[in-house]
């Protein structure tokens, strides 16, 4: 998916392309649960009817999605990146900049608290009457809305400033545990939810768009594959570690680990920005001489 998206967005800018994709994706993330939640509330005395009606309605966009994929396959059957010789797909050619980028991104996402853990924590706060149980879903809705709102602007920022915009995610992510665990009150929880959505918006747009600019066309499939594996593993590790620390009441450790990882990500991204600037200047010099 990301390989194809990076190619079809060449004309408008990769940041803008991934940003538009994320906005549409989040509209679905918001719309689906909202529709189902409304129907379940409306049919609260007959939940079976609510579920049947809800899933029937959600089947419509699923069918439209399959039609769109089929249309894309017919009109764009051979993406440039995946139609090249398989012998070119080797990690040895990914280059130093890619591995620096991957290290920074892995640190940033490992430090970004997993929402599954946050929702579990919010349930405990609801039991303590700090928030109402219904607010847990609303906080998630706010996070998704924040993701959708920031996706396009941060994509434009990437198209203009390049790797510099990668700093957005670790900077916003490092404040999330501070608002969750220090001076706990309703307002701080809502602000943490907004920050989480902003951070995830950066992950889903800028981080994904960066891969296409760091590596060559022929290496995009394997580069995106490694990236997705690393990000998925980072989310898993964060969820496990945060949950274990929370069970033994070590929220201060969660804060410390997040700060260390996000500051590390900022430093590594700083190195990447310098490397990318040097590479761009070298290219410009070569073109001028040529």
DSSP 136-200: HHHHHHHHHHHHHHHHHHHHHHHHHHGGGGGGHHHHHHTTHHHHHHSS--HHHHHHHHHHHHHHH
The model carries a pTM of: 0.85
Residue 58 tokens, joined: 């959600």
Q: Which of 118, 171, 180 is nearest to 144 (CA)?
A: 118
**How many C-beta atoms surround the C-beta of residue 282 within 10 A?**
10
* Span of 84-93, 199-208, 260-269 with lowest mean pLDDT: 84-93
Distance, CA of 278 to CA of 272 (rounded, Å) = 10
Distance, CA of 228 to CA of 212 (rounded, Å) = 13
272: burial class by Cβ within 10 Å (0-12, 13-18, 19+)? buried
Distance, CA of 175 to CA of 180 (rounded, Å) = 9
Model confidence at 107, pLDDT cuts 50, 70, 90, reads very high
Model confidence at 193, pLDDT cuts 50, 70, 90, reads very high
* Span of 13-22, 80-89, 111-120 with lowest mean pLDDT: 80-89
Phi-psi region of 114 (alpha: psi -120 to 50; beta: other; left: phi over 0): beta
Looking at the chain, the whole-number percentage of residues with pLDDT higher than 90 is 52
Q: CATH code for 2-289? A: 1.20.1250
């Amino acid at each position: 998916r990301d390989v194809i998206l990076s190619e079809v967005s060449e004309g408008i800018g990769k940041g803008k392309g991934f940003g538009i994709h994320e906005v549409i994706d989040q509209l679905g993330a918001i719309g689906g649960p909202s529709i189902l939640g409304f129907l379940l509330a409306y049919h609260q005395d007959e939940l079976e009817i609510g579920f049947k009606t809800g899933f029937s309605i959600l089947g419509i966009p699923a069918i439209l999605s399959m039609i769109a994929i089929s249309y894309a396959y017919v009109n764009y059957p051979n993406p440039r990146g995946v139609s090249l010789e398989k012998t070119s797909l080797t990690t040895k050619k990914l280059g130093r900049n890619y591995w620096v980028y991957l290290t920074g991104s892995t640190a940033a996402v490992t430090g970004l608290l997993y929402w599954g853990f946050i929702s579990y924590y919010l349930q405990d706060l609801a039991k303590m009457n700090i928030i109402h149980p219904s607010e847990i879903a609303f906080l998630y809705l706010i996070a998704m809305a924040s993701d959708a709102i920031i996706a396009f602007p941060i994509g434009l920022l990437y198209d203009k400033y390049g790797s510099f915009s990668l700093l957005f995610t670790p900077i916003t992510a490092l404040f999330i545990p501070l608002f969750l665990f220090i001076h706990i009150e309703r307002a701080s929880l809502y602000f943490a939810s907004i920050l989480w959505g902003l951070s995830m918006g950066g992950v889903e747009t800028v981080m994904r768009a960066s891969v296409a600019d760091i590596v060559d066309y022929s290496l995009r499939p394997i580069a995106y594959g490694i990236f997705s594996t690393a990000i998925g593993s980072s989310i898993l590790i964060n969820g496990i570690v945060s949950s274990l620390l929370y069970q033994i009441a070590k929220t201060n450790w969660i804060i410390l680990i997040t700060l260390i990882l996000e500051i590390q990500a900022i430093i590594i991204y700083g190195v990447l920005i310098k490397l990318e600037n040097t590479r761009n200047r070298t290219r410009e010099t070569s073109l001028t001489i040529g």
